[in-house]
């Protein structure tokens, strides 16, 4: 149960960190007018629902494990007959385990499709913004001379997004390994 709580806390912290990064990118975008900062802000905002879904799934797993521990404790005490966890047919009712099964069967795939759709929309918005700027202006300044102004403004955004992306990958791998360890336990 402790692993799910820790994972949920990491997911909430990851969502908050990504929200802070998105806010920094929004400020950078407003301050510099960099399209890279705008793109980074939009893509950072797109990741926040994923952290929320991970936190929700881990919380549901935590409730299912707690329910299982309570049922095991009742069985050890020999008081399982006539409890609220049995229906008339003698089949155990396990609402938390049923909730996890429902979420893994329906909610996660639907969320994944919606999340992918969100990123397609974000890509279209970003490409439209890039398309609104003539290619010549991306490479040359208003006076026609070569400038690296746009590229220079993109460097902080690329650095921040790269660092956050790397941290997110490490956190996701850590959660995946913990999940494998938890599922391997009897």
| pLDDT one-digit tens code per residue, 112-138 | 888 888 888 888 787 777 766 555 455
Q: Give the per-residue pLDDT at 71.
A: 83
Helix 149-184 / helix 35-77 crossing angle, nearest 10 deg: 10
Contacts of 33 (CB under 8 A, 6+ apart): 153
More confident call, 71 vs 185: 71
- The rounded distance, in Å, linking the Cα atoms of 16 and 123 is 23
Task: Tell me the two tokens of residue 154.
Answer: 């993109």
Which of 44-53, 150-159, 168-177 ranks highest by mean pLDDT?
Answer: 44-53
pLDDT classification of 153: cutoffs 50, 70, 90: low
Q: Give the per-residue pLDDT at 164.
A: 77
Helices (H), 34-148: 35-77, 95-102, 108-132, 135-139
Q: Give the per-residue pLDDT at 31.
A: 87
Contacts of 93 (CB under 8 A, 6+ apart): 84, 85, 86, 87
- Asked whether the predicted pLDDT for residue 184 surpasses 70, the reply is no
pLDDT classification of 150: cutoffs 50, 70, 90: very low
The rounded percent of the chain whose pLDDT value lies above 70 is: 70
Q: What is the mean pLDDT of the chain?
A: 77
Cβ(104)–Cβ(90) below 8 Å: no
Q: Give the per-residue pLDDT at 148.
A: 45
pLDDT classification of 177: cutoffs 50, 70, 90: low
pLDDT in tens, 63-105: 999 988 888 887 788 765 555 555 555 556 788 999 999 998 8
| 8 sits in which H/E element | helix 2-32
HSE, CB side, 13 Å, CA atoms: give it for residue 12. Answer: 9
pLDDT classification of 149: cutoffs 50, 70, 90: very low
For tokens 């403004």, the residue is: 153
For tokens 């360890």, the residue is: 181
Backbone angles phi, psi at 87, to 5 degrees: -90, -175
Considering the entire predicted model, what is its pTM?
Answer: 0.66
- The rounded distance, in Å, linking the Cα atoms of 59 and 43 is 26
């Amino acid at each position: 149960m402790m692993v799910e709580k820790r994972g949920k806390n990491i997911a909430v912290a990851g969502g908050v960190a990504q929200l802070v990064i998105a806010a920094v990118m929004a400020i950078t975008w407003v301050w510099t007018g960099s399209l890279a900062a705008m793109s980074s802000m939009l893509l950072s905002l797109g990741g926040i629902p994923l952290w929320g879904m991970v936190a929700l799934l881990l919380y549901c797993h935590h409730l299912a494990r707690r329910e299982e521990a309570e049922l095991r404790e009742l069985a050890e005490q020999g008081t399982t007959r006539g409890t609220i966890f049995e229906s008339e047919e003698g089949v155990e009712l396990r609402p938390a385990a049923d909730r996890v099964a429902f979420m893994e069967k329906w909610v996660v795939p639907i969320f994944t499709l919606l999340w992918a759709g969100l990123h397609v929309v974000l890509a279209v918005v970003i490409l439209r913004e890039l398309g609104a700027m003539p290619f010549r202006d991306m490479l040359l300044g208003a006076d026609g001379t070569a400038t690296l102004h746009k590229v220079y403004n993109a460097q902080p955004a690329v650095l921040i997004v790269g660092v956050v992306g790397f941290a997110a990958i490490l956190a996701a791998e850590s959660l995946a390994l913990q999940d494998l360890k938890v599922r391997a336990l009897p």
